[in-house]
Amino acid sequence: MRGLIVALDAASLDEARALAERVAPHAAGLKVGLELFVAAGPAAVTTIERATSRPIFLDLKLHDIPETVERAVARACATGAKLLTVHASGGPAMLERAVTRAAREATGLRVIAVTVLTSLDDRDLEAIGVSRGAQDQVVALARMARAAGVDAFVCSPREVRALREAFGGDVLLVTPGVRPASSRESGESDQKRDATPEAAIAAGADAIVVGRPIRDASDPRAAAERIARACLSPRA
């Protein structure tokens, strides 16, 4: 899944499906997150995939004991989703069981580890007892997860270059916290480590996740098209 992933941040399946159908021509994938999954359950994945023929990024950020996460991965595999997020901070045993179960189910689902949420900065990490800065924490978590078998990571655009230096082209890097320059200038965001689509791709991201700048645009399809074109920018 490389290019633009559109986040279907909607309160109902009908609303999400309508958005998905509008943006699908310009999306490499579509993200089903917590709000939509809580509202519609696994049907959110199957309905959107059938309506658009686009791969689904199931963003549930699983973080629990290894047994619980492994069983949840099996259920996620049954939905047909192609990417599933887990928190890297869940630890090696949880990550290894998640990856192993996904491989055993053989549905093509890939486990992708979330490193540090893009809404957090160094001060936030210090408040929860993490002494490393965001970039060092991202790299440390990714190294631990890679040793557990994970080969895909979610990080902010600001850490992409550091992960490319650590792992080269052997991993998939997906970056949320991506907003067009016009959206960044408005200051309307809860993201603290963000960048433009062009900057994220140039740094080495494989895919970018964009939600509100597309969902809230007067013409979501045109907004998706503009951002998808930005994904064609050359990588570093």
Write down the catalytic residue from 31, 61, 82, 192.
61
Nearest to 210 by CA among 79, 29, 71: 29
d(CA 122, CA 61): 21
d(CA 8, CA 17): 8
The single residue listed with the structure tokens 């230096």 is: 165
d(CA 163, CA 140): 10
d(CA 147, CA 128): 25
Q: Check the CA dihedral 36-42-48-54 and report its sign.
A: positive
d(CA 92, CA 145): 6
Q: Is 82 a catalytic residue?
A: no
* Chain mean position to CA 221: 20
Nearest to 17 by CA among 42, 46, 51: 51
Q: Check the CA dihedral 4-26-18-48 and report its sign.
A: negative
d(CA 229, CA 4): 9
Tell me if 45 sits within 8 A of 84, measured CB to CB: no
- Report the catalytic residues: 61
